[in-house]
Structure 1
Amino acid sequence: MSEIRAKTPLWFWILSVIGLLWFAMGAFDYTATQLRLDFYMSSFTEEQLAYFYGFPAWYEATWAISVWGAVAGAVLLLMRKKAASLMFLISLISFVIGAIYSYGFTNAMEMMGGIGSVIFSAVIFLSILGYFWLARWASTRGILR
């Protein structure tokens, strides 16, 4: 029996590629920080480096899950797989846990330059949420299988 599939609109592909590029930048930031790459970390102050290198292991795990979950979600969108929704949801939950810790229990705002860091975190949150909604919508329309 043949399966009826919706035609994938061009805008869906464009948004999926943009999402992959956006979330890949987060993956680069995570990887460069974890590997302590000199060319990347040299732009931070000693205090900021001590802050980054002092993260507890569970926080680093939430950061990794958030970053790589979003990358996986974007790849799954490009593959037109329904599992993209789940990956973005996992990423979103991990991001929220990390943000609550960062802004509620550390001096993240002070270390990262004030309100700008909160705004950037809000942009990341809205990006993950938006791609979660996109994946859910595409699933209900038959674009994802």
Structure 2
Amino acid sequence: MTNVTIQKPPMWFLVISIIALVWNALGVFAYLGQSLMTDEMLAQLPEADQQMYANLPSWYIGAFAVAVFAGTIGSLGLVIKKKWAFYVLIISLVAAIAQMYYLAFVLKMANTMTPLIIIVGMALAWLADYATKKGWLS
């Protein structure tokens, strides 16, 4: 067994980790809102949106789920200062890239959120790696 000294992270790390947790939890709510949409709710959407939701491939829905749930778990890992947060955040990032690729290049629905989601995912993975190297995570 090795003795590893865990350094206390600065307050900004906890603040960013909590913001990341909220950001990813909002993604979970967005996923649940989409996946739990009833036929009645779908019928109230414009025709183009109804067609889009009806034709989303299952891999896209799976990537959406993995991106937001892994992002939330990884962000929670940052809050509780666990090294495994990095690996979970990488999984989230890969799923988000697949999801955003489909939105931007197949559905041609890119907006400012598309690159922002990728940038935030990359920043969180970098933060987890940085915090591990600094000895803030156990």
TM superposition score normalised by structure 1: 0.84
CA distance in 2, matches of 1:30, 1:46: 20
What aligned pairs does 1:1-145 form with structure 2 within 5 A after superposition? 2-36=3-37, 44-107=45-108, 109=109, 117-145=110-138
**Structure 2 stretches of 5 or more lacking a match?**
none
Could you tell me whether the CA contact under 8 Å between 1:33 and 1:41 is conserved in 2? no
SS in 2 for 1:126: helix
Q: Which runs of 4+ in 1 moved over 6 A?
A: 40-43
CA-based RMSD = 2.2
8 Å CA contact 2:43–2:50 kept in 1: the answer is no
Q: 1:45 to 1:72 in 2, by over 3 A?
A: same
Aligned length: 137
Structure 1: runs of 5+ lacking an equivalent:
110-116
Scaled by the length of structure 2, the TM-score of the pair is 0.88
Percent of aligned pairs sharing the same letter: 27
- Closer, same or farther: CA 10–86 of 1 in aligned 2, 3 Å: same
Could you say if the C-alpha distance between residues 134 and 37 of structure 1 is closer, same or farther in structure 2, counting changes exceeding 3 Å? farther
Q: Over residues 66-121 of structure 1, what are the superposed CA-to-partner deviations in whole Å (9 max), with x where a residue is unaligned?
A: 111111110111111111111111111111112222222224x2xxxxxxx42111
